[in-house]
Each structure stands twice: as C-alpha cells, then as structure tokens.
Structure 1
Amino acid sequence: MGMKDKLQTKLSKAFDGKLEDAVSQIVGSYNGPGVFDPVTEETTAETITYTGRGVITGFKVERIDGINIKVGDAKCVILSNEIDAVPDVGHTISAGTENFLVHLVLPDPTGATYQLHLRRA
C-alpha cells in the first residue's frame, strides 16, 4: 500500500468519524465542450456535474489581504478518489445552499487530495 492509498484510507475514516460534522456533500459543475455562437450568444455546451465529499473552512483572518484572499473566500479539501472528476479553475462548487467558483486547485504531492481555493459566486 503506497502513501496515496494510506492517506486516502485515513482521511476517509476521518471523514466518516471525527470530521463527520464538518464534511459536506460537494456538487461541482462546468460547461462541457460545445460551440459558441457570438451572434446569438448561445452555446451548445451542456453542463457536466460531479459529486464528492469535502471539508469547507474559511481562511484565517490574518491571511485575508483583499487581493489574493478576499473576505468570504473559503478553502475545501476533497479526496481525489471520492470525486467523479478533477476540479478545475472556473468550475462551480455547491455545498448545501452555498455556491462558489473554484479560484485555485492544489493537488497534494501524492495525489490523494485536492485543496481548492473557493470564491463565493
């Protein structure tokens, strides 16, 4: 069992146990491939959705600089093996009644998790 598998196993147990109250169902979406008509401003792209689990938290107050990290921004940690697609910049992430845009995606070095910088939509 490699480091990625160990991390995912331990984090999955934590999501089911000690972190259960903090874990949210995550629904991501983005526009798939399609053709944009500039005259009618319509596209043939269909919305693609994916789901998973994650923990969404805020940033520490001292990290909020108003430029890179703004008031209302959040960070989210999700397990890569529990999500149906790879999140990317510009995707919409919904958790409960809150909607965010993915501002930055940082996979950990083992590929076990994704850390997302989210901005309220």
Structure 2
Amino acid sequence: MGLRDEIQADLAEALDDPEGLADAVRPVAGIRTVKGSYDPNIGGTAPTTAIRYSARGVFDSYLAQEIDGSRIQTEDMKLLVLQNEVFEERDGVVSDTPATPKIGDHISDFRVLNVSEDPAQATWIIQLRK
C-alpha cells in the first residue's frame, strides 16, 4: 500500500469515526453539463448530456487571511472530498474509476470555481460559490 492509499484509508476512517469527523461529513452531489457534437438530425443543435457524480465531503469556510475579496470571497465555501470516493454516473451507468470535479460544475447548489489537490493526491480541495 502506497502513501496515497494509506492517507485515503486514514481519512476515510476519520470521516466514518463518530468521535472524529463523522458529524461534519455531508453527502455531495455534483453535476456537469456537457455539450455534444452538432447534430443536423435533431434540428441542427448540439445535444447536452448531464454527468452526475457523488461522494461525501466536509464543507468549510475560508480563513480570514485567505479571503482577498475577488478570487476568494467571504461567502465562498471550501469542500474537501477523497479522490477515491468521487464516481461519475453517465446515462445511469456508474464508472468504476474515480472522477475529477471540474470548474463550472455544480455541487450541492454551489458553482465550482477552483479544483486543486493535496500534495499526496488523496483529496480534492474545491472552491465553491453560490
């Protein structure tokens, strides 16, 4: 087991632990709308597909020193999710490989502004705005 797997296992355990973070963990539902290719057979438009994904995560606010008023605003939220728990669902089929949230997605009534990962590549750190 590599370092990344160990970190993810430890974090998953902390998220499940009633004496740990279990009370802060919330279900996360994300959606991305993807425009398809131009299709003259459906009125000359490009159809859209909704890609959904779900996980569990911990929502947090930004520290005062992180808020600059433009890139990060006081209402912005920070979301931490384990990378190995984010799975896409497309046309009713759940992928067997973890997915990556993207800028422009919508997660739990918020819009994704930024997606980064920790140095061990175990968690996604997602900036959200209403």
TM-score (norm 1): 0.85
Aligned to 1:16: 16
Matched, 1:29 2:31: yes
* Number of corresponding residues: 113
The percent identity for this pair of structures is 37
CA radius of gyration, larger in:
2
User: Quick check: 1:115 aligned with 2:117?
Assistant: no
Amino acid at match of 1:91: D
Mapped to 2, the partners of 1:113 and 1:11 lie a distance apart of 9
Within the alignment, does 1:81 sit opposite 2:81 as a pair? no
AA partner of residue 26 (structure 2) = S
Cα distance in 2 for partners of 1:77, 1:6 equals 17
6-15 vs 111-120, greater mean Cα deviation? 111-120
Structure 1 residues not aligned, in runs of 5+:
none
Shift of 1:72: 0.9
Gaps of 5+ in 2: 88-98
1:101 CA displacement: 0.8
Deviation at 1:15, TM superposition (A): 0.4
**Matched letter for residue 108 of structure 1:** D
- Counterpart code for 1:72: E
Q: Determine helix, strand or coil for the equivalent of 1:69.
A: coil
Task: Pick closer, same or farther for the CA change 1:63–1:110 going to 2, 3 Å.
Answer: closer
Task: Please state how far the C-alpha of 1:108 moved relative to its aligned partner.
Answer: 1.7
Q: CA RMSD in A?
A: 1.8
TM-score (norm 2): 0.80
| Structure 1 match to 2:110 | 100
